[in-house]
């Protein structure tokens, strides 16, 4: 190998390592020092199950590393805990209130199953919040990928006006909510952290459209880390 190639390789590796060390920029208008890592309690992991037989152009590789701390303005806590949940269809297993009950276990007794097709659930935070992170656990007993995940925030419970989309991995717009550039991912006990970047709203809505194991939509828990707006 030419020496220049070796140097380039070393440089690329150094840059790659540094990129993983740089914390994510969050709440850019918050002064440095006002931030703290949000505290996320993880459920016990599931081991085993059948390997995933799925490939998608938009699927990100499984990441077994611990999630880096997510920095948000101090005081941001899970505002969704115990709050009311609405849905596009009544569950066929479990109850909607289990989506915000704090239980994130992979057991079927912790699972809320919603009918097939494009469906949504939405959490009412009861007042407008500045929202920094949304965490969602779908069914994480084994390797599944949920399709067409879209996360939105609004002050309108009908989501007709002033809707902010903070995640969308529907790359072919099959759900009709617009083309999304976010990645598909394999479920795990860590849940998915969606960076909401401080958008404000009272309602958080999550869409999905079936998964690799069946056509149903599932939720175990949704958390919304935010701070109530004072004004
Ligand atoms: Ca739950
Ligand atoms: Ca799609």
- pLDDT one-digit tens code per residue, 167-191: 999 999 999 999 999 999 999 999 9
Domain segments of the chain: what residues?
3-228
Output the CA 105–ligand 1 centroid distance in Å.
7
Largest pairwise CA distance in the chain: 64
CATH entry 3.40.50.2300 includes domain 3-228: no
Ligand nearest to the CA of 107: 1
Closest ligand, as measured to the CA of 178? 2
pTM reported for the whole predicted model = 0.85
Distance between CA atoms of 111 and 103, rounded to whole angstroms? 9
Nearest to 99 by CA among 143, 148, 138, 147: 138
Mean pLDDT of the chain: 91
List CB contacts of 82: < 8 A, sequence separation 6 or more: 100, 101, 102
pLDDT digits (tens, 9 = 90+) for 136-148: 999 999 999 999 9
Kindly give the distance from the C-alpha atom of residue 173 to the centroid of ligand 2, in angstroms, as a whole number.
5
Q: How confident is the model at residue 9 (pLDDT cuts 50, 70, 90)?
A: low
Contacts of 185 (CB under 8 A, 6+ apart): 59, 60, 145, 169, 192
Q: What is residue 185's predicted lDDT score, i.e. its pLDDT?
A: 98
């Amino acid at each position: 190998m030419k020496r220049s190639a070796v140097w380039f390789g070393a440089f690329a590796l150094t840059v790659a390592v540094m990129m993983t060390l740089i914390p994510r920029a969050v709440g850019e208008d918050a002064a440095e020092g006002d931030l703290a890592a949000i505290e996320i309690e993880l459920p016990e992991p599931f081991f085993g199950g059948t390997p995933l037989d799925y490939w998608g152009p938009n699927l990100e590789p499984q990441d077994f590393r611990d999630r880096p701390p997510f920095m948000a303005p101090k005081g941001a806590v899970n505002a969704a805990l115990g709050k009311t949940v609405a849905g596009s269809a009544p569950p066929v297993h479990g109850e909607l209130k289990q989506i915000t009950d704090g239980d994130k276990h992979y057991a079927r007794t912790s699972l809320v199953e919603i009918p097939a097709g494009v469906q949504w659930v939405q959490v009412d935070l009861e007042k407008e919040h500045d929202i920094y992170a949304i965490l969602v656990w779908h069914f994480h007993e084994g390797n599944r990928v949920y399709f067409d995940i879209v996360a939105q925030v609004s002050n309108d419970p009908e989501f007709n006006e002033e809707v902010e989309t903070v995640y969308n991995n529907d790359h072919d717009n099959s759900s009709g909510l617009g083309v999304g550039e976010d990645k598909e991912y394999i479920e795990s006990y860590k849940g998915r952290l969606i960076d909401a970047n401080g958008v404000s709203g009272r309602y958080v809505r999550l869409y999905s459209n079936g998964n690799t194991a069946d056509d149903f939509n599932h939720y175990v828990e949704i958390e919304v880390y935010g701070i109530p707006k004072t004004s």
